Structure 1
Amino acid sequence: MLPARRAPLRQTAGVTLFWITAASLLSWVWLVVGQGFFWRTDQRLPPPGPDPRRWPDVAVVVPARDEAEVLPLSLPGLLAQKYPGRARVILVDDHSSDGTAGVARALAAAGGLPLTVATPPPLPAGWTGKLWAVRHGVELAGEAELLLLTDADIAHGPGTLAALVAGAERHRLDLVSQMARLRTETGWERLIVPAFVYFFAQLYPFRWSNRPGSRTAAAAGGCSLVRRTALERAGGVAAIRGAVIDDVSLARAVKRGGGRTWLGLADPDPELAVLSVRPYVGLGPLWRMVSRSAYAQLKHSPALLLGTVLGLALVYLVPPLAVLAGAVTGSWPVAAAGAAAWLLMAGSFLPMVRYYGRPAPAALLLPFTALLYLLMTVDSAVQHYRGRGAAWKGRTY
């Protein structure tokens, strides 16, 4: 009697697994064709055209806290910008303890754009340290028409500033942002980083963000050129003063103020490169990079966290598990549906894998990377409720 009873149970479980796998496959069909073609990597600054009639004055604002180690890799590129108009660099030393200001001044002695090194007043309540430093830098920028907000760990090719300004002027954009190419030198970086950019683009499809009137708005904090007038219409830096994910918040504020925004991937050409030089040696630093803001992205909502975990499991984990389960049990419809979903997943990831110079088979590892991101997101929530969420260089928000 027992085997007879177990057969209907196995049949029911097999049917349930098939429909779960079919739901995953349909999810991938929709993601590939209906989510703004997020997986494509062709959103780049337009190729050079006629120079603007005039080159606006630009101030480059660099917030820096304990960045003495990376500044020699990043600041010289900013100071060496080949910009036809007037430009200067303002580095705001956010009360560093490692001699960041002294390193910056020493690097400026080699020449290049004028450098101002300043320290903001003590951090007031309600502000993140980075945005308080940015606000101070914007104030020091005076009447500069354009502000390039960039991080201290971002290295710029010599033509980057001119290309950003030319794109903004040619297309009358109020915010032009480029997603920096992150380091992929270690094994963990090669596994985690391409997926990080891929997931960001999935959340904020660049095409949707770049469309005037679209509700989607995003930017990359490492390289964002913004018009002063657009920033003022948006309420200034104070409008986003407590934002942990400040780049997306800035783009939303500019768009709400009627501004036009654009976001794309950095060009691999060394002349126009926008590169992150911060090393992430081992899984730990990469884990903290993601978990620091993951729960903030979910608005600290347990319901959104649960939905995200279930969604990640359905979309990314079910396909390979279905292939395995179908092969073991002989349920080839389940295995076939799982394989189709997995191939769609890998195919959508392939352009980003190639953008980062990785071999094509690496795209098949996305389910494992997605599992890591799922765990990072859960850890982000755990750290938040322990009072240690969004920790960065001695500060917790």
Structure 2
Amino acid sequence: MTVLLWVTGLSLLCWLWLALGQGFFWRTDQRLPPHRPEPARWPEVAVVVPARDEAEVLPLSLPGLLAQKYPGRARVILVDDHSSDGTAEVARRLAAEGGLPLTVTSPPPLPAGWTGKLWAVRHGVELAGQAELLLLTDADIAHGPQTLAALVAAAEAGGPPDRLVLVSQMARLRTESAWERLIVPAFVYFFAQLYPFRWSNRPASRTAAAAGGCSLVRRSALERAGGVEAIRGAVIDDVSLARAVKRTGGRTWLGLAERSPELAVTSVRPYQGLGPLWRMVSRSAYAQLRHSPALLLGTVLGLALVYLVPPLAVLAGAVTVGLPLLALGAGAWAVMTLTYLPMVRYYDRPAPAALLLPYTALLYLAMTVDSAVQHYRGRGAAWKGRTY
């Protein structure tokens, strides 16, 4: 019990440090400015959408892109990554209903050393011509009609030295099923804990992150960073893109998507049951740890110390009437819950749902271990018939 008391005290200290010293990662106020001055000139934008077997979700996402109310010149390039479900035909049918010009194309066969998504993005970027800005978005992301204009206005604000080269929004993921409501808010919470948005948005900070579902990048900045080729094998391509452009001196910005219909950036991909969500997380978890057994061990121990020890201490303290242990465990759990509460509210979940974070963290711990197991079995980072 003495050892558990000390471990619980350490867990509480960890939570106090996380709450106050990790860039206030738990706050959800990093959003696009509500009042954005219009640019003096609206630059040309090419929207690049890599799509592999996305016929089911395109009717929910592509019409919003084609209906963008952008004052300047813009077009959409959908790169059909050798789909087998008629993705290209669905896209052409949707484009016939009007909106921005749509080009549907397919890349050459996937070469070694590239992920399929980035190979498709590269092909789309090549077809974008001399468009100054590139909106890289996923086929399962639905956009409100003012999204593109808001992103460009944010990128163009200020003079040339202060302009952003990358503006990215974390899409609101679906939370309709019970498993989605349990897993999804924690997914964004953990991402923000790893890459605090405030730190990422500081030019002098080494932290850099973006959200692959919605990233507006300047062509010139992408070229200075070495183009898509510079990150061609990255499984976590959004963070890799942000690092690449920030490394060359560009200013980046990452925030949460807005809630209003006009500015919404929303994922329409359904995750029915635990299995699809498990695969979504485990696909890239071990890659995030650079495939290092040492980092995996440290992560497992860290997750257990920070997320699992507090409720275990509360239970042990209640059973043994150990008031110091109960108080330390309850304190750590309280800080944990309070930091999670803003994200729970962002996803319109009731406040008591924040108390379930230790259970959700246990699932993420298991997903991370499974990600390593699948990697060593040769099935790591599997996505739609491809394994990297």
Match of 1:349 among 333, 340, 355: 340
- Residue 88 of structure 1 corresponds to which residue in structure 2? 75
Alpha-carbon separation, structure 1, partners of 2:224 and 2:35: 29
Match of 1:277 among 268, 289, 296: 268
Does 2:88 correspond to 1:101? yes
Question: What's the CA shift for 1:50?
Answer: 2.0
Asked whether the equivalents of residues 36 and 154 of structure 2 are also in contact (C-alpha less than 8 Å), the reply is no
Report which of the two structures shows the higher radius of gyration computed on alpha carbons. 1
Does 2:367 correspond to 1:376? yes
Question: What's the CA shift for 1:340?
Answer: 0.4
- Residue 162 of structure 1 corresponds to which residue in structure 2? 149
- Residue 152 of structure 1 corresponds to which residue in structure 2? 139
- Residue 61 of structure 1 corresponds to which residue in structure 2? 48
Does 2:116 correspond to 1:116? no
Alpha-carbon separation, structure 2, partners of 1:320 and 1:81: 48
- Residue 382 of structure 2 corresponds to which residue in structure 1? 391
Letter in 1 for 2:105: A
- SS of 1:271's partner is coil
Does 2:170 correspond to 1:179? yes
Does 2:205 correspond to 1:227? no
Letter in 1 for 2:300: V
- Residue 197 of structure 2 corresponds to which residue in structure 1? 206
Q: For each residue in 1:70-129, what CA deviation from the matched residue of structure 2 results, as whole angstroms up to 9, or x when unmatched?
A: 000000000000000000000000000000000000000000000000000000000000
Alpha-carbon separation, structure 2, partners of 1:77 and 1:19: 54
Asked whether the equivalents of residues 48 and 163 of structure 1 are also in contact (C-alpha less than 8 Å), the reply is no
Alpha-carbon separation, structure 2, partners of 1:303 and 1:62: 37
Give the CA RMSD over aligned residues.
Answer: 0.4
Alpha-carbon separation, structure 2, partners of 1:294 and 1:306: 13
**Structure 1 gap ranges (5+):** 1-13
Residue correspondence of structure 1 range 187-202 to structure 2 within 5 A: 187-202=178-193
Q: For each residue in 1:136-174, what CA deviation from the matched residue of structure 2 results, as whole angstroms up to 9, or x when unmatched?
A: 000000000000000000000000000000000004100
Question: What's the CA shift for 1:257?
Answer: 1.1
Alpha-carbon separation, structure 2, partners of 1:316 and 1:164: 36
Alpha-carbon separation, structure 2, partners of 1:50 and 1:253: 28
Question: What's the CA shift for 1:15?
Answer: 1.3
Aligned residues: 384
Does 2:143 correspond to 1:143? no
**Structure 2 gap ranges (5+):** none
Asked whether the equivalents of residues 150 and 224 of structure 1 are also in contact (C-alpha less than 8 Å), the reply is yes
TM-score, with structure 2 as normaliser: 0.99
- Residue 21 of structure 1 corresponds to which residue in structure 2? 8
Asked whether the equivalents of residues 146 and 227 of structure 1 are also in contact (C-alpha less than 8 Å), the reply is yes
- Residue 328 of structure 2 corresponds to which residue in structure 1? 337
- SS of 1:235's partner is coil
Asked whether the equivalents of residues 132 and 219 of structure 2 are also in contact (C-alpha less than 8 Å), the reply is yes
Question: What's the CA shift for 1:49?
Answer: 2.7
- SS of 2:262's partner is helix
- SS of 1:272's partner is coil
Question: What's the CA shift for 1:27?
Answer: 0.2
- SS of 1:116's partner is strand
- Residue 24 of structure 2 corresponds to which residue in structure 1? 37
Q: For each residue in 1:248-293, what CA deviation from the matched residue of structure 2 results, as whole angstroms up to 9, or x when unmatched?
A: 0000000011110000000001100000000000000000000000
Q: For each residue in 1:299-345, what CA deviation from the matched residue of structure 2 results, as whole angstroms up to 9, or x when unmatched?
A: 00000000000000000000000000011112110010000000000
Question: What's the CA shift for 1:229?
Answer: 0.2
Question: What's the CA shift for 1:378?
Answer: 0.2
- SS of 2:254's partner is strand
Alpha-carbon separation, structure 2, partners of 1:135 and 1:312: 37
Asked whether the equivalents of residues 28 and 344 of structure 1 are also in contact (C-alpha less than 8 Å), the reply is yes
Question: What's the CA shift for 1:48?
Answer: 2.4
Alpha-carbon separation, structure 1, partners of 2:368 and 2:289: 9
Asked whether the equivalents of residues 217 and 255 of structure 1 are also in contact (C-alpha less than 8 Å), the reply is yes
Does 2:34 correspond to 1:47? yes
Percent identity, aligned pairs only, is 86
Letter in 2 for 1:375: A
TM-score, with structure 1 as normaliser: 0.96
- Residue 5 of structure 1 corresponds to which residue in structure 2? none
